[in-house]
Structure 1
Amino acid sequence: MEINEKMMELVAALRRSNLHIATCESLTAGLFAAHVASIAHASQVLKGGIIAYQNEVKEQIVGVPAALIKQHGVVSSACVKAMAKAVKERFRCEIGISFSGNAGPDCLEGKPVGCVYMGIALHEECFAYELQLKGSRNAIREQCVRIGCEEVLKLIKRAA
Protein backbone atom coordinates (compact mmCIF):
# COMPACT_ATOMS: atom_id res chain seq x y z
CA MET A 1 0.00 0.00 0.00
CA GLU A 2 1.38 3.39 -0.92
CA ILE A 3 1.94 6.23 1.57
CA ASN A 4 -1.08 8.30 0.48
CA GLU A 5 -3.44 5.34 0.95
CA LYS A 6 -2.00 4.76 4.43
CA MET A 7 -2.33 8.46 5.24
CA MET A 8 -5.98 8.42 4.14
CA GLU A 9 -6.51 5.51 6.52
CA LEU A 10 -4.68 7.38 9.31
CA VAL A 11 -6.68 10.60 8.87
CA ALA A 12 -9.92 8.60 8.83
CA ALA A 13 -8.91 6.68 11.99
CA LEU A 14 -7.96 9.90 13.78
CA ARG A 15 -11.29 11.49 12.81
CA ARG A 16 -13.31 8.43 13.91
CA SER A 17 -11.49 8.36 17.24
CA ASN A 18 -11.63 12.14 17.73
CA LEU A 19 -7.82 12.23 18.09
CA HIS A 20 -5.36 14.93 17.06
CA ILE A 21 -1.70 14.61 16.13
CA ALA A 22 1.34 16.89 16.17
CA THR A 23 4.80 16.22 14.77
CA CYS A 24 8.36 16.93 15.83
CA GLU A 25 10.58 16.06 12.92
CA SER A 26 14.34 16.09 12.52
CA LEU A 27 15.56 13.96 9.62
CA THR A 28 12.10 13.91 8.01
CA ALA A 29 12.04 17.74 8.09
CA GLY A 30 8.25 18.04 8.01
CA LEU A 31 7.63 15.23 5.53
CA PHE A 32 5.26 13.34 7.84
CA ALA A 33 3.15 16.46 8.49
CA ALA A 34 3.18 17.29 4.77
CA HIS A 35 1.85 13.83 3.91
CA VAL A 36 -0.91 14.11 6.51
CA ALA A 37 -1.80 17.59 5.23
CA SER A 38 -2.13 16.25 1.68
CA ILE A 39 -5.24 14.30 2.73
CA ALA A 40 -8.72 15.85 2.74
CA HIS A 41 -9.97 16.70 6.24
CA ALA A 42 -6.43 16.76 7.66
CA SER A 43 -7.23 20.11 9.28
CA GLN A 44 -9.59 18.25 11.63
CA VAL A 45 -6.77 16.09 13.04
CA LEU A 46 -3.37 17.70 12.39
CA LYS A 47 -2.61 20.31 15.05
CA GLY A 48 0.81 21.32 13.68
CA GLY A 49 4.45 20.45 13.78
CA ILE A 50 7.96 21.53 14.58
CA ILE A 51 10.94 20.90 12.34
CA ALA A 52 13.76 20.43 14.82
CA TYR A 53 16.62 19.71 12.46
CA GLN A 54 19.40 21.19 14.59
CA ASN A 55 20.19 20.36 18.22
CA GLU A 56 19.65 23.93 19.42
CA VAL A 57 16.06 23.78 18.11
CA LYS A 58 15.48 20.47 19.90
CA GLU A 59 16.72 22.09 23.11
CA GLN A 60 15.45 25.69 22.90
CA ILE A 61 12.16 25.32 21.02
CA VAL A 62 11.07 21.73 21.70
CA GLY A 63 12.48 21.56 25.23
CA VAL A 64 14.63 18.44 25.01
CA PRO A 65 17.08 18.77 27.91
CA ALA A 66 20.66 19.44 26.81
CA ALA A 67 21.82 16.86 29.37
CA LEU A 68 19.67 14.19 27.69
CA ILE A 69 21.18 15.02 24.30
CA LYS A 70 24.69 15.02 25.77
CA GLN A 71 24.16 11.66 27.47
CA HIS A 72 22.18 9.80 24.77
CA GLY A 73 22.64 11.82 21.57
CA VAL A 74 19.90 12.98 19.24
CA VAL A 75 19.85 9.66 17.39
CA SER A 76 18.40 7.79 20.37
CA SER A 77 15.20 6.45 21.85
CA ALA A 78 15.52 8.86 24.78
CA CYS A 79 15.60 11.86 22.45
CA VAL A 80 12.62 10.85 20.29
CA LYS A 81 10.54 10.04 23.35
CA ALA A 82 11.29 13.49 24.77
CA MET A 83 10.46 15.08 21.41
CA ALA A 84 7.16 13.17 21.04
CA LYS A 85 6.03 13.99 24.58
CA ALA A 86 6.99 17.65 24.24
CA VAL A 87 5.19 18.20 20.92
CA LYS A 88 2.07 16.44 22.22
CA GLU A 89 2.02 18.73 25.24
CA ARG A 90 2.92 21.89 23.33
CA PHE A 91 0.11 21.39 20.81
CA ARG A 92 -2.32 20.10 23.46
CA CYS A 93 -3.26 16.98 21.57
CA GLU A 94 -3.52 13.24 22.15
CA ILE A 95 -0.69 12.05 19.86
CA GLY A 96 2.83 13.31 19.28
CA ILE A 97 5.15 11.68 16.76
CA SER A 98 8.85 12.37 16.35
CA PHE A 99 11.69 11.28 14.10
CA SER A 100 15.45 11.59 14.51
CA GLY A 101 18.15 9.66 12.77
CA ASN A 102 20.89 9.40 10.24
CA ALA A 103 19.83 9.61 6.59
CA GLY A 104 23.47 9.87 5.49
CA PRO A 105 25.81 10.22 3.87
CA ASP A 106 28.17 9.77 6.85
CA CYS A 107 28.14 8.13 10.27
CA LEU A 108 26.45 10.34 12.91
CA GLU A 109 27.03 9.93 16.65
CA GLY A 110 28.54 6.55 15.86
CA LYS A 111 25.29 5.47 14.22
CA PRO A 112 25.32 4.09 10.67
CA VAL A 113 23.40 5.57 7.78
CA GLY A 114 19.79 4.41 8.01
CA CYS A 115 19.70 4.24 11.81
CA VAL A 116 16.48 6.03 12.74
CA TYR A 117 14.50 6.44 15.93
CA MET A 118 10.82 7.26 16.02
CA GLY A 119 8.83 8.25 19.08
CA ILE A 120 5.07 8.12 19.51
CA ALA A 121 3.34 9.60 22.54
CA LEU A 122 -0.30 8.55 22.81
CA HIS A 123 -2.24 9.84 25.79
CA GLU A 124 -0.03 8.97 28.79
CA GLU A 125 2.10 6.32 27.04
CA CYS A 126 5.25 6.89 25.02
CA PHE A 127 6.96 4.42 22.71
CA ALA A 128 10.31 4.46 20.92
CA TYR A 129 11.10 2.48 17.80
CA GLU A 130 14.59 1.78 16.49
CA LEU A 131 14.75 1.27 12.74
CA GLN A 132 17.58 0.30 10.42
CA LEU A 133 16.57 1.48 6.96
CA LYS A 134 18.30 1.27 3.60
CA GLY A 135 18.36 3.47 0.54
CA SER A 136 19.00 7.07 -0.42
CA ARG A 137 18.39 9.98 1.97
CA ASN A 138 14.94 10.54 0.56
CA ALA A 139 14.11 6.83 0.50
CA ILE A 140 14.98 6.63 4.21
CA ARG A 141 12.81 9.68 4.94
CA GLU A 142 9.86 8.23 2.98
CA GLN A 143 10.22 4.90 4.81
CA CYS A 144 10.07 6.80 8.12
CA VAL A 145 6.78 8.40 7.09
CA ARG A 146 5.26 5.08 6.00
CA ILE A 147 6.37 3.23 9.13
CA GLY A 148 5.28 6.10 11.37
CA CYS A 149 1.84 6.07 9.80
CA GLU A 150 1.57 2.28 10.24
CA GLU A 151 2.63 2.39 13.89
CA VAL A 152 0.26 5.22 14.81
CA LEU A 153 -2.57 3.27 13.15
CA LYS A 154 -1.67 0.16 15.20
CA LEU A 155 -1.70 2.16 18.43
CA ILE A 156 -5.04 3.78 17.62
CA LYS A 157 -6.57 0.38 16.86
CA ARG A 158 -5.11 -1.08 20.05
CA ALA A 159 -6.48 1.79 22.15
CA ALA A 160 -9.98 1.57 20.63
Structure 2
Amino acid sequence: MTDPLVDGTDAVALVAELAGRGQTLASAESLTAGLFAATIAGVPGASAVLRGGVIVYATDLKAELAGVAEATLAADGPVASSTAAELAAGAATRCRADWGVGLTGVAGPDPQDGKPVGTVFVAVAGPDGVRIRELMLPGGRWEIRRAAVDAAMSDLLGRMRSVVSG
Protein backbone atom coordinates (compact mmCIF):
# COMPACT_ATOMS: atom_id res chain seq x y z
CA MET A 1 0.00 0.00 0.00
CA THR A 2 1.32 3.45 -0.88
CA ASP A 3 1.27 6.43 1.46
CA PRO A 4 -1.51 8.81 0.39
CA LEU A 5 0.49 11.80 1.68
CA VAL A 6 3.41 10.93 -0.61
CA ASP A 7 1.46 10.14 -3.79
CA GLY A 8 1.68 12.92 -6.36
CA THR A 9 4.37 14.86 -4.50
CA ASP A 10 8.09 15.45 -4.98
CA ALA A 11 8.78 13.62 -1.69
CA VAL A 12 10.40 10.52 -3.24
CA ALA A 13 12.65 12.61 -5.50
CA LEU A 14 13.51 14.91 -2.61
CA VAL A 15 14.53 12.07 -0.28
CA ALA A 16 16.59 10.51 -3.10
CA GLU A 17 18.32 13.82 -3.85
CA LEU A 18 19.13 14.45 -0.19
CA ALA A 19 20.38 10.88 0.32
CA GLY A 20 22.50 11.05 -2.82
CA ARG A 21 24.19 14.18 -1.50
CA GLY A 22 24.48 12.95 2.07
CA GLN A 23 22.47 15.97 3.23
CA THR A 24 19.72 16.46 5.77
CA LEU A 25 16.50 18.42 6.16
CA ALA A 26 14.43 19.97 8.96
CA SER A 27 11.22 21.97 9.03
CA ALA A 28 9.47 24.62 11.11
CA GLU A 29 5.79 24.49 10.29
CA SER A 30 2.92 26.72 11.26
CA LEU A 31 -0.11 26.40 8.95
CA THR A 32 0.92 22.90 7.80
CA ALA A 33 1.24 21.65 11.40
CA GLY A 34 3.78 18.93 10.57
CA LEU A 35 2.27 17.86 7.25
CA PHE A 36 5.52 18.62 5.39
CA ALA A 37 7.62 16.45 7.71
CA ALA A 38 4.95 13.73 7.76
CA THR A 39 4.95 13.61 3.96
CA ILE A 40 8.75 13.26 3.84
CA ALA A 41 8.59 10.59 6.56
CA GLY A 42 6.21 8.58 4.35
CA VAL A 43 9.08 7.84 1.94
CA PRO A 44 11.14 4.72 2.64
CA GLY A 45 14.64 5.84 3.61
CA ALA A 46 13.50 9.18 5.00
CA SER A 47 15.19 8.46 8.32
CA ALA A 48 18.56 8.98 6.63
CA VAL A 49 17.70 12.56 5.65
CA LEU A 50 14.92 13.94 7.88
CA ARG A 51 16.49 15.36 11.05
CA GLY A 52 13.24 16.61 12.54
CA GLY A 53 11.29 19.77 12.93
CA VAL A 54 9.00 21.86 15.04
CA ILE A 55 5.30 22.57 14.84
CA VAL A 56 4.87 26.20 15.80
CA TYR A 57 1.18 26.79 15.31
CA ALA A 58 1.05 29.30 18.17
CA THR A 59 2.80 32.62 17.53
CA ASP A 60 4.82 32.57 20.76
CA LEU A 61 6.29 29.17 19.85
CA LYS A 62 7.69 30.57 16.61
CA ALA A 63 10.14 32.51 18.79
CA GLU A 64 10.59 29.97 21.58
CA LEU A 65 11.08 26.83 19.48
CA ALA A 66 12.09 28.01 16.00
CA GLY A 67 14.14 31.09 16.87
CA VAL A 68 12.05 33.72 15.10
CA ALA A 69 13.03 37.08 16.56
CA GLU A 70 10.42 38.70 18.80
CA ALA A 71 11.08 41.92 16.87
CA THR A 72 10.16 40.19 13.59
CA LEU A 73 6.91 38.89 15.04
CA ALA A 74 6.08 42.29 16.53
CA ALA A 75 6.86 44.22 13.35
CA ASP A 76 5.73 41.83 10.63
CA GLY A 77 3.47 39.30 12.35
CA PRO A 78 3.32 35.53 12.23
CA VAL A 79 2.30 35.42 8.56
CA ALA A 80 5.09 37.24 6.71
CA SER A 81 8.04 36.56 4.44
CA SER A 82 10.48 37.55 7.19
CA THR A 83 8.84 35.11 9.61
CA ALA A 84 9.02 32.29 7.05
CA ALA A 85 12.70 33.04 6.43
CA GLU A 86 13.50 32.88 10.14
CA LEU A 87 11.46 29.69 10.51
CA ALA A 88 13.51 28.00 7.77
CA ALA A 89 16.85 29.18 9.14
CA GLY A 90 15.80 28.29 12.67
CA ALA A 91 14.78 24.76 11.66
CA ALA A 92 18.13 24.14 9.98
CA THR A 93 20.11 25.58 12.85
CA ARG A 94 18.20 24.03 15.74
CA CYS A 95 18.00 20.60 14.12
CA ARG A 96 21.56 20.77 12.73
CA ALA A 97 20.36 20.10 9.17
CA ASP A 98 21.81 21.17 5.82
CA TRP A 99 18.44 22.47 4.63
CA GLY A 100 15.55 24.11 6.47
CA VAL A 101 11.99 24.70 5.34
CA GLY A 102 9.69 27.27 6.93
CA LEU A 103 5.96 27.38 6.27
CA THR A 104 3.51 29.98 7.53
CA GLY A 105 0.20 31.25 6.21
CA VAL A 106 -3.55 31.41 6.50
CA ALA A 107 -5.53 28.24 5.76
CA GLY A 108 -8.84 29.74 6.82
CA PRO A 109 -11.69 29.83 7.24
CA ASP A 110 -11.06 33.43 8.35
CA PRO A 111 -8.35 35.98 7.50
CA GLN A 112 -5.54 36.41 10.04
CA ASP A 113 -3.81 39.68 10.93
CA GLY A 114 -5.16 41.31 7.79
CA LYS A 115 -3.92 38.50 5.52
CA PRO A 116 -6.54 36.81 3.36
CA VAL A 117 -7.19 33.08 3.37
CA GLY A 118 -4.76 31.36 1.01
CA THR A 119 -1.80 33.64 1.79
CA VAL A 120 1.23 31.38 2.27
CA PHE A 121 4.95 32.02 2.68
CA VAL A 122 7.36 29.20 1.91
CA ALA A 123 11.03 29.64 2.80
CA VAL A 124 13.99 27.38 2.10
CA ALA A 125 17.29 27.88 3.93
CA GLY A 126 20.41 26.24 2.54
CA PRO A 127 24.09 26.69 1.85
CA ASP A 128 23.38 29.61 -0.48
CA GLY A 129 21.12 31.50 1.93
CA VAL A 130 17.37 31.75 2.41
CA ARG A 131 14.81 32.19 -0.34
CA ILE A 132 11.15 32.96 0.24
CA ARG A 133 8.14 32.65 -2.00
CA GLU A 134 4.71 34.17 -1.37
CA LEU A 135 1.71 32.24 -2.68
CA MET A 136 -2.02 32.88 -2.93
CA LEU A 137 -3.54 29.42 -2.83
CA PRO A 138 -7.18 28.58 -3.58
CA GLY A 139 -9.37 26.10 -1.78
CA GLY A 140 -10.29 25.08 1.72
CA ARG A 141 -7.99 24.35 4.65
CA TRP A 142 -6.88 20.92 3.42
CA GLU A 143 -6.24 22.09 -0.16
CA ILE A 144 -4.25 25.13 0.99
CA ARG A 145 -2.15 23.08 3.41
CA ARG A 146 -1.45 20.34 0.80
CA ALA A 147 -0.56 22.93 -1.85
CA ALA A 148 1.81 24.66 0.60
CA VAL A 149 3.58 21.36 1.28
CA ASP A 150 3.83 20.63 -2.45
CA ALA A 151 5.25 24.10 -3.09
CA ALA A 152 7.84 23.68 -0.33
CA MET A 153 8.98 20.33 -1.72
CA SER A 154 9.19 21.71 -5.24
CA ASP A 155 11.11 24.79 -4.07
CA LEU A 156 13.57 22.73 -2.05
CA LEU A 157 14.16 20.23 -4.84
CA GLY A 158 14.70 23.05 -7.31
CA ARG A 159 17.12 24.82 -4.99
CA MET A 160 19.07 21.63 -4.35
CA ARG A 161 19.43 20.93 -8.04
CA SER A 162 20.71 24.47 -8.64
CA VAL A 163 23.31 24.35 -5.86
CA VAL A 164 26.53 22.48 -6.44
CA SER A 165 26.80 19.59 -4.02
CA GLY A 166 29.50 20.07 -1.50
Same fold per TM (> 0.5)? Answer: yes
**What's the CA shift for 1:101?**
0.3
**Could you give the per-residue CA deviations for residues 96-139 of structure 1, whole angstroms, max 9, x where no partner exists?**
00100000111111110000001110124101110000001010
Aligned to 1:125: 129
Give unmatched runs, 5+ long, in structure 2: none
TM-score when normalising by structure 1: 0.96
SS of the residue aligned with 1:43?
helix
Aligned to 1:99: 103
**Could you give the per-residue CA deviations for residues 82-103 of structure 1, whole angstroms, max 9, x where no partner exists?**
1111110111111000100000
**What's the CA shift for 1:74?**
1.0
Paired with 2:147 and 2:66, the residues of 1 have a C-alpha distance of 24
Which of 57, 74, 80 is residue 78 of structure 2 equivalent to?
Answer: 74
Aligned to 1:150: 154
TM-score when normalising by structure 2: 0.92
Aligned to 1:10: 14
SS of the residue aligned with 1:22?
strand
Aligned to 2:26: 22
Paired with 1:83 and 1:36, the residues of 2 have a C-alpha distance of 18
Which of 79, 86, 89 is residue 90 of structure 2 equivalent to?
Answer: 86
**What's the CA shift for 1:3?**
4.7
Kept after mapping to 1: 8 A contact 2:23/2:97:
yes
Structure that is richer in helix per residue: 1
Give unmatched runs, 5+ long, in structure 1: none
Paired with 1:74 and 1:110, the residues of 2 have a C-alpha distance of 11
Matched, 1:32 2:36: yes
Amino acid paired to 2:90: A
* Seq. identity, %: 35
Kept after mapping to 2: 8 A contact 1:72/1:78:
yes
